[in-house]
Structure 1
């Protein structure tokens, strides 16, 4: 930033802010009309969610493609009816109940023929206490609203004589309640935090109004873009969380700067132009960093992750645009009334308001910065040790997908899983499907089936089936361990690497199924994650260098952000995978971290961490340009941003914490990681590690190729900001 004694014009951003201020009615009407039009189109004609994570070149994807080609009759979703009766299923009262339930399922318009376990002995355990049967769904596009009545009917049929439960993917989806009031709780919490920070209902309402209007347009637009880039069903929930957090934060930074400039004697229009020209510039850089980080997901090469990245980036982009166009218009309506409907403020002993200009007194944040700067090496080592300790569990991270075994204990899908695991083994819910193309119907695949069946860890295999065209064969094997067990993943590798290659004809067989698909997706994600991290860091550093014109600060940002994200990963592993405090936080059982969670967490958290870095360093840079003193610039920059960064972090934490109130296990994991990361970033990183490292680096903080090593500052008579 440079200074001048003339009234600020502020460049393109300030000019845009002045236009929106002067044409505020037109801008507001354009936003409302635009959002309504996009909402009508998006929510009325947007693309449905796509939860098919299959595809690619993995062994499971190839096996699935082969099965779809040669066994079309096996396509479509199915449900599994689990039956448990302590007196045995042949008890007359139990049999009447079971047959009545099967008849009701068979008569449903969304199911196919249902085979009674009384007609097939293979569906009943030897002690005849537990039985099962498959309920095929008649249409692959059956909605969960069609399945929910079936789940409820089966659950209601249970009584003291028999327990009946429906399981399967569609049963899990049907039982999963909507997100409910979680976002509303987040908005309410954000409003309380803003009211405390600003002390004014008017100032509180502006960031929330700006964010909500932007999110409505952004989410509707993502539905439309879904026709080009399909995304999973949790995209809207995730996009709403990210959009709400960054939308309120971006508006918060601009409103705070506007209030500061009004307090320093600016007219409302000049204050709007100055706020957008300074804080708004930082908002655009910060938001662009988030978008760039999200687009780093494209290197993962996974279709639905690409859709998720595009959809979330659109929401962030709309919130950025709203912050520099809609918000200046709203500020034009408030003018000097920004502090209306305010809290009563205490007065200091000297008689001045407690919120008097910071330059008149040293704030707690400035005093804290002095403490850190007096012992910078100690502070940096302690902060780094805390982050590394929290990050340590990351080394044991396992990736997977939630299944019925980790659902809430009152769900029908979980009850079904428990019954089937008791009666048919824990591996019943983790079938391995083998498929191969063969030369003719007479091809002998029994050696392969026998080799697989004789492998340690395999409970039993099914007889091989030949396709109608006689060109493919398939069979299933059930492991002795469950879907979430690490031993099951080891078994898949053993079968692929050792058993199939050694069996006669085994090299032609592909190993697939949902369990193998999850393992393949986890390994593919793990192999590509370092590339995504490198791309995101490199692009974000280039952007930060362009903003602050310092290579050193960009490197510092990359390192400290990696440390804070690593700490968040470690906490997620400890809670989700190790089970520490898991039930208290809404995780019914220990489980691997959901495959997409670390992929999505990194770009989002790296972008959000860069947000705080941009806002802090931008202010430090301004102070350094004014004084030429790095130590004073860090202390003053921290003092002038501590309150707003704390409020912004509290809002993010409040918004992301609401994910723990929702029903989606994977979204809960992502929300937990982001809560931890934002908390660490706003406390350990911004309040301790960053000022300590900047103090240690001294003048080297501002190193940039071609820049002179020292400079002489000449403080201006009037503090006015202009972009270079």
Structure 2
């Protein structure tokens, strides 16, 4: 097989030379471009869209009817929960309660409020617990306008009176900002880079490149939001991914640049070599991440389409920065890449006069251990991954509500008070809607059938729209939002009760609770399609890069194993509660519906990153020596340090999500950190060398290609090196 060397006249080489020689122009263009994108994005970017749909589900049809015929219900609502130790009729207590209600009613963002003193149905029999609904004037009331309402309620609590304000808007208003989490991740990344490179200059380049790319990427993402609106968590996800891949891509290129300098190349030649080798791998790896993210479009969810396009835009900017901005920086740095070095001890072998060629690194020795017992290593690693993945079989999907929020939140206080006084199902109402003729609005049999269903605590009388074309009523289950029995009750009502009741066949069951159930089930049904699309497209790219069907299939299977392990560990921690409280999860909870479908394309793409960098180097060594075992050993040895550093940076950045307040973002950060850890250890250090050793020359099988021998290394040297390994 002929040896491949980086093309000195290819497009990437020309781009690298241009950016190196015109470094001032390139740097100036990047600074102006990033500032312009950031200004336009943050000033004129699209507002987040957090609306999810269940496709053609019951809840989607019910919501459409409500939006069309009950426009007055389109505004969101809050719930004020009241618990008084002395009873709400105690004079001093009543004065406090009425004062709070008056302040809430006076807000410009609230509609008329019915006091529990005016409606006995809002008070429990013992008169200790009460509630009232607070209508908001608009669906898009800003968090800043709701925050004072939460503050008013929390400040009024005390002296035997406990108040809580619940509702989606209240939850978002009192959720603190992410805080300094990303800064902690960057500091950790800087420490890892300094340890890996031993130089402040080499440490700073990947971080500066990554930060500029992320800032520009977020600006692009916000502008693209006008075409494909995305939810508010997209920015956090984009920051996590952008920082991770941005720093890692720069790290891989910078490592190759330093290697070339050490081999005697001048800075410009080293830059060209780095971009045409590691830079080429970066473009393939980044394209894989983008394609994997765009696989979310297969979910058929408008919200996920926005996430896919927004996050992939941010990744695209990081790719461009790696092959244009970084070469410009290298033009300024030149030979000073190792300036401001960390003092290091010289290796013992060097001090003893052992030639560099004969010294073996820890990674080389480890590869030799795995290759001597490849079947045992492969079976052991596979067994560990399967054990880790096993809990994923019991994964439950839902959307977080007040019951899984931190216990110091007003929304959680509201949930506990309402659950105690009116039952846990009050926070998970079912909303029924149907079209009716103006002359026939009798939904009595349907309401009665729902009311008599086991698991229903209470059902309201039906109400007809002003245009006489639709009717609606509500029912409250005896179980809570996250309870599996609530999901079973929704299916029983839809599949048995409504179809078998006169007039019930055209009644649709919706509401936030049913909508979340439909969203979860729609996600579960479409997930296999997305996985198939992502795998097929990624395999095509990987085959084009490494020119091997065998390695591409190996990569797909190994990536599935590592992602399955991440799913399993996430279920054990979040859903089963193992170490959950220590990691910042207030209680056991289902996995947030969008987390697994976001994790899969992201992790598949990131896993392919490591696969690309490792296999590309193995391929180079194989083409140089013609020996698979030596190619694996040398490739692993030359990439182990940089892949370990890159994985450590990813883990540091992803785990900073645990420091934030959003339980869903915590889940995706934890899951991705676990997957990267598994991928960089069990997969890359054990499974890859073991499986490649077992496959031998079959690793490089490609239909229609004739086998040939490498000619760049003399046979005697190959035999000597093989014997040493």
- State whether structure 2 residue 415 is matched by structure 1 residue 411: no
Structure 1 Cα separation of the partners of residues 404 and 91 of structure 2: 34
Structure 2 Cα separation of the partners of residues 246 and 716 of structure 1: 38
Alignment of 1:26-425 (within 5 A): 26-54=25-53, 56-349=55-348, 351=350, 359-425=357-423
Measure how far apart 1:68 and its partner are.
1.2
Q: Which runs of 5+ in 2 are unaligned?
A: 718-725
Partner of 2:570: 572
Q: Output the TM-score relative to the length of structure 2.
A: 0.97
Structure 2 Cα separation of the partners of residues 563 and 143 of structure 1: 43
1:120-170 deviation line (CA, Å, top 9, x unaligned) = 001001111100011111222210111111101110101122111111000
Q: SS at the partner of 2:80? A: strand
Over 3 Å counting, the alpha-carbon distance change for 1:269 and 1:43 in structure 2 is: same
Structure 2 Cα separation of the partners of residues 550 and 715 of structure 1: 22
Structure 1 Cα separation of the partners of residues 668 and 237 of structure 2: 9
- Paired residues of 2:4 and 2:620 also in contact (CA < 8 A): no
Q: In the alignment, which of 683, 706, 709 is matched to residue 708 of structure 1?
A: 706
Structure 2 Cα separation of the partners of residues 4 and 511 of structure 1: 63
1:434-461 deviation line (CA, Å, top 9, x unaligned) = 1111112543211101111111111111
- Paired residues of 1:10 and 1:277 also in contact (CA < 8 A): no
Partner of 1:605: 603
Partner of 1:479: 477
- Paired residues of 1:10 and 1:273 also in contact (CA < 8 A): no
Q: SS at the partner of 2:461? A: coil
- Paired residues of 1:358 and 1:640 also in contact (CA < 8 A): no
Over 3 Å counting, the alpha-carbon distance change for 1:541 and 1:241 in structure 2 is: same
Over 3 Å counting, the alpha-carbon distance change for 1:493 and 1:4 in structure 2 is: closer
Q: In the alignment, which of 593, 602, 610 is matched to residue 595 of structure 1?
A: 593
Structure 1 Cα separation of the partners of residues 538 and 656 of structure 2: 28
Alignment of 1:419-568 (within 5 A): 419-568=417-566
Over 3 Å counting, the alpha-carbon distance change for 1:93 and 1:4 in structure 2 is: closer
Q: SS at the partner of 1:507? A: coil
Q: In the alignment, which of 673, 676, 684 is matched to residue 675 of structure 1?
A: 673
Structure 1 Cα separation of the partners of residues 444 and 640 of structure 2: 70
- Paired residues of 1:296 and 1:535 also in contact (CA < 8 A): yes
Structure 2 Cα separation of the partners of residues 348 and 82 of structure 1: 68
Measure how far apart 1:361 and its partner are.
1.2
Measure how far apart 1:359 and its partner are.
3.5
- Paired residues of 2:562 and 2:679 also in contact (CA < 8 A): yes
Partner of 1:722: none
Partner of 2:644: 646
Measure how far apart 1:39 and its partner are.
1.1
Partner of 2:24: 25
Measure how far apart 1:704 and its partner are.
0.4
RMSD: 1.7
Measure how far apart 1:580 and its partner are.
1.0
- Paired residues of 2:349 and 2:359 also in contact (CA < 8 A): no
Measure how far apart 1:8 and its partner are.
6.4
Measure how far apart 1:348 and its partner are.
2.9
Measure how far apart 1:380 and its partner are.
0.3
Q: SS at the partner of 1:118? A: coil
Structure 1 Cα separation of the partners of residues 348 and 525 of structure 2: 61
- Paired residues of 2:53 and 2:60 also in contact (CA < 8 A): yes
Structure 1 Cα separation of the partners of residues 11 and 708 of structure 2: 30
Partner of 2:720: none
Measure how far apart 1:484 and its partner are.
0.1
1:83-113 deviation line (CA, Å, top 9, x unaligned) = 0012111111110110111111111111111
Measure how far apart 1:711 and its partner are.
2.8
- Paired residues of 2:34 and 2:216 also in contact (CA < 8 A): yes
Q: SS at the partner of 1:545? A: helix
1:196-236 deviation line (CA, Å, top 9, x unaligned) = 00000000000001111111100011110000000000111
Partner of 1:15: 14
Over 3 Å counting, the alpha-carbon distance change for 1:298 and 1:692 in structure 2 is: same
Over 3 Å counting, the alpha-carbon distance change for 1:360 and 1:318 in structure 2 is: farther
Measure how far apart 1:349 and its partner are.
3.7
- Paired residues of 2:214 and 2:239 also in contact (CA < 8 A): yes
Q: SS at the partner of 1:501? A: coil
Q: Which runs of 5+ in 1 are unaligned?
A: 720-724
Over 3 Å counting, the alpha-carbon distance change for 1:492 and 1:219 in structure 2 is: same
Structure 1 Cα separation of the partners of residues 332 and 37 of structure 2: 25
Structure 2 Cα separation of the partners of residues 684 and 358 of structure 1: 29
Structure 1 Cα separation of the partners of residues 693 and 440 of structure 2: 78
The range that moved more, 7-16 or 442-451, is 7-16
Q: SS at the partner of 1:580? A: coil
Structure 2 Cα separation of the partners of residues 138 and 229 of structure 1: 26
- Paired residues of 2:54 and 2:522 also in contact (CA < 8 A): no
- Paired residues of 1:626 and 1:716 also in contact (CA < 8 A): no
- State whether structure 2 residue 685 is matched by structure 1 residue 687: yes
Structure 1 Cα separation of the partners of residues 141 and 149 of structure 2: 12
Structure 1 Cα separation of the partners of residues 461 and 355 of structure 2: 81
- Paired residues of 2:2 and 2:709 also in contact (CA < 8 A): no
Q: SS at the partner of 1:325? A: helix
Partner of 2:721: none
- Paired residues of 1:10 and 1:274 also in contact (CA < 8 A): no
Over 3 Å counting, the alpha-carbon distance change for 1:491 and 1:320 in structure 2 is: same
Partner of 2:723: none
1:396-432 deviation line (CA, Å, top 9, x unaligned) = 1111000000000000000000000100001001100
1:567-605 deviation line (CA, Å, top 9, x unaligned) = 000011111111111111111111111110001000000
Structure 2 Cα separation of the partners of residues 498 and 159 of structure 1: 47
- State whether structure 2 residue 602 is matched by structure 1 residue 623: no
Q: SS at the partner of 1:481? A: coil
Measure how far apart 1:394 and its partner are.
0.8
Q: SS at the partner of 2:432? A: strand
Over 3 Å counting, the alpha-carbon distance change for 1:353 and 1:607 in structure 2 is: farther
Over 3 Å counting, the alpha-carbon distance change for 1:700 and 1:3 in structure 2 is: closer
- Paired residues of 2:53 and 2:301 also in contact (CA < 8 A): no
Q: SS at the partner of 2:48? A: coil
Q: SS at the partner of 2:51? A: coil
- Paired residues of 1:194 and 1:647 also in contact (CA < 8 A): yes
